[in-house]
Amino acid sequence: MLKKTLMITLLTSVLASTAGLTLAADQNQERFKEKIYGSQFMTKEERTEYRNKILSAKTEKERENIRVKHRELIKERTKKYGLVIEDDIPERSGGMGSGMGVRRSFGGEQR
């Protein structure tokens, strides 16, 4: 009987710790709801690395510095291929919402 009780206790604690790890991972995912700027120009590994940097930053100022450096990197990357990310294009009146998109740049002129 004691052996059975110990096994149940052990099994319960293993399940509880596994559930705790799953809950912690879910909370990290919930904490990172931010859409990654220029994610369409990043590999899966780059997106994971960016998320990890943001999540491990200790202060909001640190996170903002990471975001600024990331935006500069993406702007350089898209410029190299003659692309412009939608939020870099001046606002126009009217239109269909404010979603981020990509446009090809033709000699500085946007079409």
Whether the model pTM is above 0.85: no
Yes or no: say if 57 and 94 are a contact pair by the CB < 8 Å rule: no
Tell the residue number behind the tokens 């710790």, with chain if given: 17
Give the start-end residues of each E strand in the chain: 83-85, 102-106, 109-110
Q: pLDDT of 20-48, one tens digit each?
A: 555 555 555 555 566 899 999 999 999 99
Q: pLDDT of 41-91, one tens digit each?
A: 999 999 999 999 999 999 999 999 999 999 999 999 999 989 888 775 554
Q: Which of 42, 43, 50 is nearest to 85 (CA)?
A: 42
In this prediction, residue 107 has a pLDDT band, given cuts at 50, 70 and 90, of low
